[in-house]
Structure 1
Amino acid sequence: MKTLVLKKHLYQQIAEGFEQQIRSKVLVPGDKLPSLRLLCEMHGISQSTAMKVYYELEAKGLALSRPQSGYFVSVSMQRHPQLPQTSTPSGQHSNIDAEEIIERVFSIPNPGSIMLSNSVPANELLPIAKLNKAMVQALRDLPGSGTAYGESQGNEKLRKQIARHAFMIPGLSHQDLVTTNGCIGALSYAMMALTKPGDTIAVESPVYFGILQLAKSLGLKVLELPTHPQTGIETQALGKALEKHKISACLLVSNFSNPLGSLMPDEHKKEVVRLIQKHHVPLIEDDIYGDVYFGENRPSTCKGFDESGLVLWAGSVSKTLAPGYRVGWIAPGLFKKEISRLKLFHAISSTNITQQVIGDFLETGRYEHHLRKLRRALEINCRHYSRAIMDYFPEHTKISRPQGGFVLWVEFGKKIDTTQLYELAIRQGVSIAPGRMFSLQDQFSNCMRLNYGMPWNDKLEGALQRLGLLAGTLS
């Protein structure tokens, strides 16, 4: 049988030529690369193809762009900062309540502040004009121009398109899905369906502060488990916790977790599913970042390995397409009846018009087209942030190496308190998310989360430079 060899695109071939020159030191860090016009003339290519060449090199950390100056060989391409440590939560809750920090960080910012604290893409990276056109079409298509209640289970077009898009979950049908008010709505229904006040849920550590505050509001105890910055929750620790504690549910972000950016390998996902099936403990899988991957293929899900129905898979377009539309969903498995009932009692139905818009976007392929551009921009941004942090932050600063998503996790030396750093930085128009927000325990005070979901420019680089200088004053 002949092996099928895929021919590389011309831009990839040209980029590989530059890569070879850089690796062999024909081109050295700091060297200026040909202008776009010159690159077009040299290879007889269009400007869009020339841009793809440099996007490819930027994504590999081999080149960087300087506004109005062109492209250069990256100075930081051979430097690899240390990864943050695997977390070691103690199990003892802190007397310090992070709610005050969260409220301060996410109160209405000063106009012009650079919001490195958020975890959503900037408007410039979203197809807002196309969404507006789709909204007009939805008004025409829906009965009563969208003013009528929709199905309690959710807009049928949207559910069908989500099921089609979720190719990594074999056999998923639109009948298996319930739409929700964003992903946090899905997580909320799942927690309410699976637990009662006083129950314990197991989560990663650090973990998105919204999950912690939601659990607290429901009167739940939270067991934080050791988590690696690249591979996610330590499966051995999860196994021991399930043996030792009475856990009502696990809640894990399997792909590009917030705030670490970790990605659970397939072997770990299979092991997590095996463990929850062994102990008959449901898993709420938050897969809100799964579409924002930097590799060739979308990562798998725990739900894709689940044959028992114990995995409740939740997602949304809040991080990829339309944060304010609040369109989310959940595939509740064995717990569909309970989730559907909760939604009926709490919401009656979802907002039909925004769901119709997202359904159209998925159906026409515009969502995939948008995702390709978004992923490329975010991967390049991540490289820029990492390089700037290495250049400007105190020595021995550790940073995560996400393979997708929107956020970087930064770990300073123990002397630096990022809550203090926030207070200094916000006075200079830069907002960060202190690490203390991402745990109910007294940990991560020397860490912070940064959002790289904004177009890279000199203003952003200047903000990171100021942030590094401020951190230096606290060390």
Structure 2
Amino acid sequence: MRTEKPLFIQVADRLEQQIKSELYAIGDKLPSIREMVTETGYSMSTINKAYYELESRSLITSRPQSGYYVSPLSSPNIINPTPSRPIISEENSEPEDLIDLVYGNMTHENVTLFSLGFPSNELLPIPKLNKAMVQAMRDLPNSGTSYEEIQGNYNLRKEIARAAFSWDGHFTEQDVITTNGCISAVSYCLMSLTKPGDTVLTESPVYFGILQLAKSLGLHVLELPTNMTTGIEIDALKKVLKTTKVKACILMSNFSNPSGSMMPESHKKEVVQLLAFYHIPLIEDDIHGDLYFGSHRPTNCKTFDESGIVLCCSSVSKSLSPGYRVGWVFPGAFKKEVLRTKLYHSVSATTLTHQVVGDFLKNGRYENHLRKIRKILYHNCTHYIHTILTHFPEGTKVSQPQGGFFLWVELDSKINTAVFYHEALKHHISIAPGRIFSFQNQFTNCMRLSFGLPWTPEIQHAIQTLGTLLCQKKI
């Protein structure tokens, strides 16, 4: 028996057809919710849900105090990158020299750094942070020169727990451990859960820092097939768990680095239930979760964690201040182990900067900043994609992220982006070759581009230059 779709889905489907048939063109404003209620006779709740659904499909975007507009990401010319198909093997090949080469140029002022993994200083509220730093020195005992308690700054932990409500997390300050950035949180979790020789699962592609961290701990990494839109493929995960002894799983469920993928809520729930069945902890890296483009924050895998197997890590390094090194983890059932690891490896986090971020959260300055940076990043993303589609070779595939600040670009299979990196650098442009995001010999024709740089004529020209080079040369 066929089940009829919910009414809001029917409305969303009809609007999607109108957008795809260009009845509403890119940039057009949709009728307001009240206008749609009057026009259709449906309830305001139904229209609201329909618009939220269209946002989740990247077809429309909301603008504060303005309304809903057709997104450039709705363009039929966009081709999604090919899902990855890594060989399920523990034989690894490390791209360390390439990583060193790419990130050795991070401080060069005359290079356009599309390879950056964090937002440009122009997007950060530096004067307000400086003012908050002075206030923190006044408020803290001994002006912040003393160690704080091992679990972390109380006010910061309290505000982090409160902020988790946005992704339907229900915690207190006792459920949070602060760390020196997100990679420290992930590191503490891995060290607490594994020993050399153990096997861990990841997405593919995956942030190279995760790969190098796992290698430094003597772990075997299994990279699983991944869709560049919806994240890790559930069937592949099921197959591996049935046949392989796995100690932990590491995933970025929201706006993954480098692909920009976001796992649908149903996938997050299924992954948590699956791992709970096999008693395998999930280390969730949610560092980009606050940088969503839609009207509301996406859930985490931690949202659906009933047994405490999910250790959810995050930070403000990608949204507020990379150099402050303020991160945290909700360790779930592994609080004792993670807290002990933190004690052995760092004793305390950075007192002053953690106090500053705690105050930023408490006073609402962080949320105000997020509203601004999310709008800027979405604006950047749409311009980057449009310029890539216009100037890169025909057949170029590009991701359509719903948050974060990374684009995953797939080129013709004959193009080697590790070689192209040198060609681009001659023009003072730095990219992140796809090869650095895997231990396997894959993604050689892919690159990651950050849209964390403000959109300017110079940035537009740099993207156009990349396109010209790709069109003119056979790398």
TM-score range, shorter chain: 0.7 to 0.9
Matched residue, 2:42: none
> Which residues of 2 match residues 252-291 of structure 1 at below 5 A?
252-291=251-290
Matched, 1:80 2:77: yes
Distance 2:432 2:90 in 1: 20
Deviation at 1:54, TM superposition (A): 8.6
Q: CA deviation at 1:427?
A: 1.2
- The percent identity for this pair of structures is 55
Is the alpha carbon distance of 1:337 and 1:169 closer, same or farther for their aligned partners in structure 2, counting shifts above 3 Å? farther
Is the contact made by 1:286 and 1:315 (CA closer than 8 Å) also made in structure 2? yes
- Cα distance in 1 between the residues matched to 2:462 and 2:161: 41
Q: Following superposition of structure 1 onto structure 2, how do residues 283-432 of structure 1 map, counting pairs within 5 Å?
A: 283-432=282-431
Q: Which amino acid aligns with 2:445?
A: N
* Correspondence for 2:470: 471
| Matched residue count | 421
What is the DSSP-based 3-state SS (H/G/I as helix, E as strand, rest coil) of the residue aligned with 1:474?
coil
The separation in 2 between residues aligned to 1:302 and 1:228, in whole angstroms, is: 17
Aligned to 1:218: 217
With over 3 angstroms needed to count, the CA separation of the structure-2 counterparts of 1:266 and 1:433, relative to structure 1, is same
Q: 2:200, 2:222 within 8 Å by CA — same for their partners in 1?
A: yes
Contact 1:94 1:442 in 2 (8 A): no
Question: 2:231 and 2:66 mapped to 1: Cα distance?
Answer: 32
Secondary structure, aligned partner of 1:313: strand
By how many angstroms is 1:170 displaced? 3.5
Q: Distance in 1 between matches of 2:429 and 2:127?
A: 29
Cα shift readout 1:358-393 (whole Å, capped 9, x = no counterpart): 000000001000000100110110000100000110
Residue 270 of structure 1 aligns with an amino acid whose one-letter code is K
Mapped partners of 1:246, 1:93: distance in 2 = 12
Give the superposition deviation at 1:410.
0.2
Question: Amino acid of the residue matched to residue 134 of structure 1?
Answer: A
Distance 1:243 1:212, change over 3 A: same
User: Counterparts of 1:238 and 1:406 in 2: how far apart (Å)?
Assistant: 27
Q: Deviations over 1:379-429 (max 9, x none)?
A: 110000100000110110000000000100000010000001100001110
Corresponding residue number in structure 2 for 1:149:
147
Deviation of the 1:313 alpha carbon: 0.6
Q: 5+ residue gaps in structure 1? A: 1-18, 30-50, 62-75
- 1:171 aligns to what SS in structure 2? coil
| Corresponding residue of 1:60 | 71
SS across alignment from 1:166: helix
Question: Structure 1 residue 136 and structure 2 residue 141: aligned?
Answer: no
Q: Which amino acid aligns with 1:100?
A: D
Verify: 1:97 aligned to 2:94, yes or no.
yes
Task: Report what 1:182 is aligned to.
Answer: 181
Distance in 2 between residues matched to 1:428 and 1:53, nearest whole Å: 41
Give the 3-state SS of the residue equivalent to 1:372 in structure 2.
helix
**Residues 324, 353 of structure 2: 8 Å contact kept:** yes
Question: Equivalences for 1:437-456 in 2 at 5 Å?
Answer: 437-456=436-455
Q: Secondary structure at the match of 1:298?
A: coil
Q: Is the 8 A contact 2:26 2:75 kept in 1?
A: no
Q: In structure 2, what is the Cα distance between the partners aligned to 1:404 and 1:170?
A: 20
Offset of 1:94 from its aligned partner? 6.8
Could you tell me how far apart the structure 2 residues matched to 1:135 and 1:442 are? 45
Counterpart-to-counterpart distance in 2, 1:55 and 1:103: 45
Give 1:81 shift: 1.4
Structure 1 residue 108 displacement after superposition: 3.5
Q: Which amino acid in structure 1 is aligned with residue 406 of structure 2?
A: V
Task: Give me the TM-score of the superposition, normalised by structure 1.
Answer: 0.85
Whether contact under 8 Å (1:393, 1:469) holds in the other structure is yes
Alignment match, 2:12: none
Distance in structure 2 (CA, Å) of the matches to 1:213 and 1:415? 28
Supply the RMSD in Å over aligned alpha carbons.
2.2
Structure 1 CA distance, aligned partners of 2:26 and 2:77? 17
- Give deviations 1:62-105, integer Å, cap 9, x for gaps: xxxxxxxxxxxxxx974431100111001346775310000000
Deviation string, structure 1 residues 250-278 (Cα, Å, up to 9, x no partner): 00001000001111111001100111111
Q: Which amino acid aligns with 1:474?
A: K
For residue 147 of structure 1, what is the amino acid of its counterpart?
A: T
Note the residue ranges of structure 2 that are not aligned, 5 or more in a row. 1-17, 28-62
Deviations 1:295-331 (A, max 9, x none): 1110001111111011001000000000000000001
Matched to 2:141, the amino acid is P
